[in-house]
Structure 1
Amino acid sequence: MSTDWQPTLIVGIGRGGLVPAVYLSHAAGLPMASYDLSAQTPQAGDDLLTRLAARTRDGERLLFVDDINDTGRTLGLLRTWLDEAGAQPGSVRFATLLDNEVSAQQVSYRARVIDRRVVKDWFVFPWEAVATADAIAQDAAEIPERTS
């Protein structure tokens, strides 16, 4: 991370971003919150996003962490919801382990860049590998152009 912008809170995006967020939180010595989109429960996290947006207006900087920025859908939703909740511009950034260079959304920090025009693989991170083969195949089948 650059020295000109330092987060004050790590926010793990569930499910895939929770493990990397915990690691980053410990490594940076920063507190961590979690926001779960995987539950697919409408409005379940509205209160949390409202509170997080309020924290940015008080000068806090939030770093949202996810495993992959693939299509950009997750990051786009979060950006829209945070904007609607009044988050301070420039106070929210995103970090991912894998970043699709042709995604609809951009991240500030990434460990590795992929190009989905070329790489169609379905990525299974170590913390996901404990799932059954059927569960992994079912997740991969949700996006037919990905291969397991």
Structure 2
Amino acid sequence: MTQSAAPELYYLEYYEEFLAKVRQLSRMIQGDGWNPEFVIGVGRGGLVPAVYISHQLGLPMLSIDHSSRVPGFADELLEKVATMSAAGNRLLFVDDINDSGSTIEYIRQLLEGSGGARGNLRFAVLINNTASRSSVDYHTDSIDRAEDKRWFVFPWESVSARDVLLDEAQAVPDRLT
């Protein structure tokens, strides 16, 4: 891709497929014997799948708005969540995609730095980039970002203006080049 080429926006407008993916993730979680006590939606992209998964699993949901980038806001909530995991609560973090791994890495480091118990933390995503610097415990689809340069537009993002989506995609050019 050249510097001036616009990224390929790949719209995932699939309600039935989305529900199938939520059910698949839920079965994976239930099937491995690790039973979370809370589902934590990672804002913004993980909130919608987290709501569905919390209903599917019959678990309460909390949210962490990491994407807002309001200084200290998500960090304070993550510190509270770390205390919950240290007290023995198993927490399932849900996001839409593990792309570069920076969100998951940031959350893990903050949780562990705040005393969180690593064994009580797991991560689930719909799409996992196998080349990501962070791993996840559960996912339905895999891509290799080294080869797949599409910018995934999830159903809850599809109402955004095309210019906004292109700006978001180009904000992290390493994922697309």
- Same-fold call, TM cutoff 0.5: yes
Match of 2:92 in 1: 63
Question: Which of 103, 107, 110 is the matching residue for 2:139?
Answer: 110
- Cα drift, residue 29 of structure 1: 0.7
Shift in Å, 1:134: 1.2
Paired position in structure 2 for 1:86: 115
Q: Is 2:152 the counterpart of 1:123?
A: yes
Letter in 1 for 2:176: R
Partner of 1:51: 80
AA matched with 2:154: F
Match of 2:129 in 1: 100
Cα distance, 1:117 vs structure 2: 1.1
SS at match of 2:48: helix
Which position in structure 1 is the counterpart of 2:26?
Answer: none
Identify the structure with the greater helix proportion: 2
Give the whole-Å Cα distance in 1 for the aligned partners of 2:106 and 2:86: 20
Partner of 2:55: 26
Greater alpha carbon shift after TM alignment, 18-27 vs 51-60:
51-60
Shift of 1:54: 1.3
After superposition, the CA RMSD in angstroms is: 1.3
| Structure 1 counterpart of 2:6 | none
Q: Between 43-52 and 27-36, report the one with greater CA deviation.
A: 43-52
Q: TM-score, normalised by structure 1?
A: 0.94
Unaligned runs of 5+ in 2: 1-28
Tell me what 2:167 maps to: 138
The Cα of 1:131 is off from its aligned counterpart by 0.7
Structure of higher RCO (CA pairs closer than 8 Å, 6+ residues apart): 2
